Structure 1
Amino acid sequence: MALRSTIMDNNSFRAEHAADLDPQTRRLTERRDDVLGGSYRLFYRRPVHLVRGEGQYLWDAEGQKYLDMYNNVASIGHAHPAVAQAVNAQMLRLNTHTRYLHERILDYTDDLLATLPEYLDAGDFKAMYMCTGSEANDLALRVAKAHTGGTGLIATTEAYHGNSELSSLVSPALGSGQPIGEHVWLLPAPDRYRTGVAEIGSWFAEKVRAAIADMESKGVKFAGFIADSIFSSDGVLPGSYLKEAVDVVHSSGGVFIADEVQPGFARTGDQFWGFAAHAVTPDMITTGKPMGNGIPVSGLFAKADVLASFSDTVPYFNTFGGNPVSMAAAQAVLEVIRQEGLQEHARDLGAAALTRFTQLGETHQSVGDVRGAGLFIGFELVKDRATKEPDRGLALNLLEELRQRGVLTSVAGPHGNVLKLRPPLPFTHTDIDWASEALDASLKALS
């Protein structure tokens, strides 16, 4: 039997929970079993039947209100009217593929590339569009291999980069039922808390250097390193420590793929792009979910010479990638981030939330570490602060207690013991109160 996936199975409904469900919820879970493939998962031992969302809030079929502390799909808020209006207006005019001329895809590309950090030249990058982050990472891996002539890839031991065939090969978080690529080297994540290493950047760079040397000793040519810059699935590891490792990648002839599906689009507050916190130069940037706020759209933004190695040889066409409706949604998201000051909001509210959750953690011995950047916070549960032994059982029970108090989130990390607190960006001080009071009450109930 395959080991459970840390991102799919930790906080999931299973057959043994069915007896505790109310009749309506049980009927819905049974219908899913009848008509949907078995790979799907539901959150919670008692699944939530959602029917409406607005901003950072959700309502279930019985009218109960929830605080969404997990969703980076509706990053600027559930059912944002600006996105709905943009999509509706464009759908009433035209929606087709990219083999006809249309201004929207060009205007959006110019606008998005203008958000790159000042130390990068936006003119060095070209864009390609898809529908999902998985597709974007899949294409980035193809480009990396074409540009370098290599096949060797580096990822971290709990990374998640997608569910296409190529992207799943560098996604160990999917569980042991998903094979890792033959030429994929997995490294431990740069986790200061668990390693106790202060100079985590040098520590991680040495791991990268050793992996490349091991590849070469086995006759495998190095192609590249893929990472999301906050190491979301590895347990939420913010900081500014990747530059030395990326320098090793470049000096070894490889490319760096910055997977910005989770840390990008103003999420981490200080920067629009997560990788900018590390002052690194990616060869390719991929994005997805938050880009369209619920409309499927994703992108690959690559250095022109890197992309040319692939695109000058191989035609690429994605029927729905870059269509006018998706571009309208993506443009609306960018405009809302600017007009509502959501990057600055994520910085300020994130700092306030981190302070509050850290103070809360100090009063509960089961909290080992609280860390974050902007509105992306990891809340780690342990059995013993001295040994740092992870407490997965407590983390999973805590999720259920929070759900009862109207707060929805999930877990991350190799041990499934880190609460991943990642609300939609319109989060407020009142929401910090709600979340912290629910955390406090839930921890007390479980102590």
Structure 2
Amino acid sequence: MPLSTLIQRSSQPSPALSEAQAHALLRAHYDLAGSVQSLGSQQDLNLRLDSDQGRFVLKVCHASYAEHELQAQHAALAYLADRGVPVPGVRPALSGDALLAVEVDGQPLRVRLLDYIDGQPLTRLKHLPTRLVAELGALCARVDQALASFDHPGLTRTLQWDPQQAQALIEHLLPLLSDAGRREQLAQVVRQAGETLQPLVAQLPSQAVHLDITDDNVVWRRDEAREWQLQGVIDFGDLLRTWRIADLSVTCAALLHHAEGDPLRILPAVTAYQAINPLDDAELRALWPLVLMRATVLVLSSEQQLAVDPHNQYTRDNIAHEWQIFDTACQVPAMLMEAAILQAAGRQLPALELSGCAPLLPELAGQPVSRVDLGVLSAHCEAGNWEQSGFDQAVLAAQTGAACSLHGQYRLSQTHIDRPDEPATCALGVELKVPSGSVVQAPQDGVWQRLGDGRGVLRTAHWSLWLKGLDATPDDGQGVSKGQTLGTACGFLCVQLCRDTALQPPFFAQPSAAAAWLALCPSPQALLGFDCDAEPLPDAQALLARRDASFARSQKHYYAEPPQIERGWRNYLIDLQGRSYLDMLNNVAVLGHGHPRMAAESARQWSLLNTNSRFHYAAIAEFSERLLALAPDGFDRVFLVNSGTEANDLAIRLAWAYSGGRDLISVLEAYHGWSVATDAISTSIADNPLALQTRPDWVHPVEAPNTFRGRYRGAESAADYLRDVDAKLADLDARGRQLAGMICEPVYGNAGGISLPPGYLRDAYAQVRARGGVCIADEVQVGYGRLGDYFWGFEEQGVVPDIITMAKGMGNGQPLGAVITRREIAEALEAEGYFFSSAGGSPVSCRIGLAVLDVMDEEGLWQNTREVGGYFKARLQGLVDKHPLAGAAHGSGFYLGLELVRDRQTLEPATAETMILCNRLRDLGIFMQPTGDYLNILKIKPPMCTTRASVDYFVDCVDRILGEGL
């Protein structure tokens, strides 16, 4: 087909067909009736028919599409269906023909009817998970693999979307753009893409391809876990024979609409395609130029279509995101994408040839150069000093003699906080401390470009060398010879290589793009003459495999593919690539991570003594006195243990010893620990799915007083829930069994921090005490001021327990727990022998425990929890007011929960959505996990140093994700 015909076809509007005319066609040729709905198309007309015989798609196109082209589509549908690819079937007309030629209002048209595949495209999905990106690439590979042996006369056609026609079509359509700047931008992109593509064309294999496997033309449906599942591939209107790689280029171009400005997000599609239907090097190198061509054709075709068919709403709706595709494609250098695509397919750019170069710093030849570690685990980094401006340079300056930073190292100084984007932490060059006046010479012939401020670039035939920190450089544009002096170093010198001579590379790269950037900016070690390369990071997945091979599987880890966390600072956790994650769930680290006071106290005490509490030392008396000063009047005895489990286990023993009974009242949906006794009283099915079936006969769970989703709702429900307490106690009375006591979290932890209804503990405690039992307040999670308005959780209920158990934040991560009680209860245990915890109350633990209390006071963390926590709760309530999925905000201070429900009336838990939300938050740099028996509550318990800025970031991200649709 000549270009003129191509242009004519690409310029025609969609067929004009009224609803009445569509109904007439369906009745006359298919004996079908029902409602019709437009599905949209750029140049065809697609109508969905809902009839009593099922759903179908009526496809109408201009007769300029030859009959054999449409027959090729039908043959391909049958061919793919036989090979297991989910595609629509073709429904023949009453005449038996699959393809009809009709005329409507003087328009010669071609008509056919296809099965409708239920589901939805992903076009308007605001966030496309990596799994779906990979699945689209894999689907493209499977279709191409199946079509490799398919042939039909109708495949030989000239189509505006065929990349072999792209440059001619673009040249014709470019004048349509009235914006001269945009017009020149498109022309330059196409020119550069064409220069890369031209030498590869002869090596590109051809076959039948779909050429439109995009988010528009693949249909999905969500399963019960809210995961998208493929239903089918539709719209074979672009089927033809062309380069095989063209199919993947179309898929990748469409994915750019979902890439959030980062073209490298398409790489999982390349990896998935390559695993199924391997591409050769020429195809992989041609992929990105073809994506750029496709993006250009998309915007120009839409601009042209609007010019000839201004009322085409489908085109009008699409043009904005087609410009977004083009702009995203232009965000990174083409050579970077080539390197990234090759790496995604398991290939690499060839090594840069640097042999025979003159040394850059001849005076350093043979001299020792210190390698300076500026990575995440560097000993130079402590107490947040890396946040100071110029930190890296200050560390280099402090070295004796010449020193260098490390190429390819992820630097802690480059991290950032409370932002969704990865920090650019990977060093693509080297910083040197060298003697002032050191000669810097040209390693190879080239042209010097002076950039000012001691900066410049030497451009050679095959690579460029970027330098910063020079005096007395050559004139701008001057040719220099190998070994010629480029200047003298000012004391600090930045050195960076780049194989793309037209590109000025960044000095740091984001971890997700680091491998590709390092291929473009290789190590300058060959020019420097000494080792300046960072050691590669350990393989996080291999380390995880080692963990799984040796660490018992019941000890779970967060996330399927967790980042390797090796450092923390304040309310952030930092992975080995320098990304700082906002920690919204670590209620152990009340002071925050990496607190210098904790390091100093533990180091100091370890250097003196660490032993068990049967020895006599000052710290144990001092810490016990501090704890009693925090407890209500009448509490005068302390036991020190290692954990909340040990504290609750000991509390049970104390209740048994003091009361003489064994029976305990516990509350459903609660968790108290992992020992035999504490597991027995724990009834949370989220922690133990068999919890309710495996309780021993001395444990008597009572109905959970959950005022949000329990049987009785609201703050006035205490009496209703107390009836179950009364019933359990009456049953014990009737059987003549002595009650040992009741254990309860004063604030309902696993339910997301829900307060108990007012009066519940007051009346329950009275009933328990009347029977000689003791009242145990499990403060392991809520105590120590985490609630903000109260130091102890039981204060909210206006009661005083008999035993207080505490752990978690007492040691800011140091194993430390306590049981606080009265003398008569404590001494009741002596009849069973003495109590001893090997490490409970050790000198190190006591000193750290004292320091935690000191820091909480000195840094105003309880006040911060009260003030910022109140602000936090208000912002969470704002989410509830805005998003139907956010059912309720629970808790106070920094003990909060956001409960997700699918229905505000039935309170159906949004379990799958909550997990998707948590995983998406991790993508945005936030650690969060679900809680509750239905795992539908965000468990929000951050360090008590958390700031308003972090609260805003967290809530804004949850708002964003809920707005994306879960």
Report the equivalent of 2:909. 390
Whole-Å separation in 1 of the counterparts to 2:690 and 2:832: 34
2:655 maps to 144
Q: Who is 1:95 aligned against?
A: 610
Pairing partner for 1:210 from 720, 723, 727: 727
Give the partner amino acid of 2:876.
F
Asked if the contact 1:235–1:414 (Cα under 8 Å) also holds between the matched residues in 2, the reply is no
How far apart are residue 256 of structure 1 and its match? 0.9
Q: How far did 1:177 drift?
A: 4.3
Out of 548, 559, 564, the residue aligned to residue 33 of structure 1 is 548
**Any idea what SS the aligned residue of 1:185 has?**
strand
Q: Distance in 2 between matches of 1:72 and 1:207?
A: 32
1:162 and 2:673 matched:
yes
Following the alignment from structure 1 to structure 2, what is the Cα–Cα distance between the partners of residues 234 and 108? 32
Q: Which residue of 2 aligns with 1:371?
A: 890
CA distance in 1, matches of 2:699, 2:752: 21
Q: Give 1:142-291 correspondences, 5 Å limit.
A: 142-173=653-684, 174-177=687-690, 179-194=694-709, 195-238=712-755, 240-241=758-759, 242-291=761-810
Distance in 1 (alpha carbons) for counterparts of 2:768 and 2:882: 42
Spell out the pairing of 1:404-419 with structure 2 (5 A cutoff).
Answer: 404-419=923-938
Distance across 1 between alignment mates of 2:566 and 2:652: 37
User: Are residue 108 (structure 1) and residue 623 (structure 2) matched?
Assistant: yes
Give the whole-Å Cα distance in 2 for the aligned partners of 1:271 and 1:177. 34
Q: Percent identity?
A: 35
The answer for the alignment partner of 2:420 in structure 1 is none
Greater mean deviation of Cα atoms: 198-207 or 137-146: 198-207
Letter in 2 for 1:421: I
Q: Distance in 2 between matches of 1:402 and 1:218?
A: 52
Q: Is 2:752–2:896's contact at 8 Å kept on the other side of the alignment? A: no
**Cα offsets for 1:75-99 (capped at 9, x unmatched):** 1111111111111111111111111
1:5 — aligned with what?
none
The CA deviation string for residues 256-276 of structure 1, in whole angstroms up to 9 with x for no partner, is 111111000110011211111
1:218 Cα deviation after fit: 3.9
Which residue pairs with 2:586 in the alignment?
71
Shift of 1:112: 1.6
- Provide TM-score, normalisation by structure 1: 0.91
1:33–1:76 CA distance, 2 compared to 1 (3 A): same
1:191 CA displacement: 1.3
Pair 1:135-2:646 in alignment: yes
Q: How far 1:312 sits from its partner (Å)? A: 4.5
Decide whether the 8 Å contact of 1:208 with 1:249 is kept in 2: no
Matches within 5 A, 1:293-442: 293-442=812-961
* Paired residues of 1:98 and 1:319 also in contact (CA < 8 A): yes
**Are 1:121 and 2:628 matched, yes or no?**
no
> 1:221 Cα shift?
2.3
The farther-off stretch of 260-269 and 197-206 is 197-206
The question of whether the paired residues in 1 share the 8 Å contact of 2:917 and 2:961 is answered with yes
Give the unaligned 5+ runs of structure 1: 1-18
Q: Deviations over 1:42-87 (max 9, x none)?
A: 1113223211101101111222111100011111111111111111
| RMSD across aligned positions (CA) | 1.9
CA distance in 1, matches of 2:720, 2:620: 41
How far apart in 1 are the matches of 2:729 and 2:587? 33
| In structure 2, distance between residues paired with 1:161 and 1:187 | 15
> AA paired with 1:147?
Y
- CA shift, 1:390, in A, is 1.2
- Once residues 560 and 897 of structure 2 are traced to their aligned partners in structure 1, the CA distance between those partners, rounded to angstroms, is 22
Task: Verify the 8 A CA contact 1:268 1:274 in the aligned structure 2.
Answer: yes
Distance of 1:186 and 1:325 partners within structure 2: 38
Kept after mapping to 1: 8 A contact 2:901/2:910: yes
Shift of 1:188: 2.4
Residues 42-57 of structure 1 mapped to structure 2, 5 A cutoff: 42-57=557-572
Q: Does the residue aligned with 2:708 lie in a helix, a strand or coil?
A: helix
SS of the residue aligned with 1:389? coil
How far apart in 2 are the matches of 1:51 and 1:185? 43
Residues 752, 891 of structure 2: 8 Å contact kept: no
2:539 partner SS: helix
Q: Report the AA paired with residue 210 of structure 1.
A: A
Question: 2:873 touches 2:889 (CA, 8 Å); kept in 1?
Answer: yes
The offset of 1:182, in angstroms, is 2.0
Report the TM-score when normalising by structure 2.
0.43
Larger RCO (CA under 8 A, 6+ residues apart)? 1
Residue 224 of structure 2 corresponds to none
Residue type matched to 1:87 in 2? S
Would you say the 8 A contact 2:899–2:938 is kept in 1?
yes
Look up the equivalent residue of 1:202 and give its one-letter code.
Answer: A
For the residues of structure 2 that align with 1:47 and 1:172, how far apart are their CA atoms? 28
Shift of 1:344: 1.3
**What per-residue deviation string (whole Å, max 9, x for no partner) do you get for residues 4-40 of structure 1?**
xxxxxxxxxxxxxxx99x9933322211121111211
Q: State the secondary structure of the residue aligned to 1:225.
A: strand
2:119 maps to which residue?
none
Contact 1:49 1:61 in 2 (8 A): yes
Q: Does the CA contact (< 8 Å) of 1:58 and 1:66 recur in 2? A: yes
Contact 1:189–1:234 (Cα < 8 Å) also in 2: no
* Partner Cα distance (1:317, 1:263) in 2: 26
User: Contact 1:236/1:413 (CA < 8 Å) preserved in 2?
Assistant: no
Q: How many pairs align?
A: 424
What code does the residue aligned with 1:94 have?
A: L
- Point out where structure 2 has 5 or more consecutive residues left out of the alignment: 1-270, 273-511, 513-537
Contact 2:738–2:771 (Cα < 8 Å) also in 1:
no
Residue 391 of structure 1 aligns with an amino acid whose one-letter code is A
Residue type of the alignment partner of 2:668: T
CA shift in 2, pair 1:204/1:305, >3 Å:
farther
Q: 2:696 aligns to what SS in structure 1?
A: coil
CA distance in 2, matches of 1:350, 1:275: 18
Q: Deviations over 1:224-283 (max 9, x none)?
A: 111111111133212544222222221222111111110001100112111111121111
Which one-letter code corresponds to 1:86 in the other structure? Answer: E
CA contact (8 A) 1:67 1:408 kept: yes
Residue 67 of structure 1 aligns with an amino acid whose one-letter code is L
**What SS does the aligned partner of 2:905 have?**
coil
Q: Distance in 2 between matches of 1:217 and 1:235?
A: 36
CA displacement, residues 343-391 of structure 1 (integer Å, 9 cap, x when unaligned) = 1111111100000111122111101111211111110000111221111
| Structure-2 residue corresponding to 1:7 | none
1:165–1:304 Cα change, 3 Å: same
Q: Describe the superposition over 1:184-209 as per-residue Cα deviations: whole angstroms up to 9, x where unpaired.
A: 11122211111324323323332222
The one-letter code of the counterpart of 1:319 is S
Offset of 1:219 from its aligned partner? 4.3
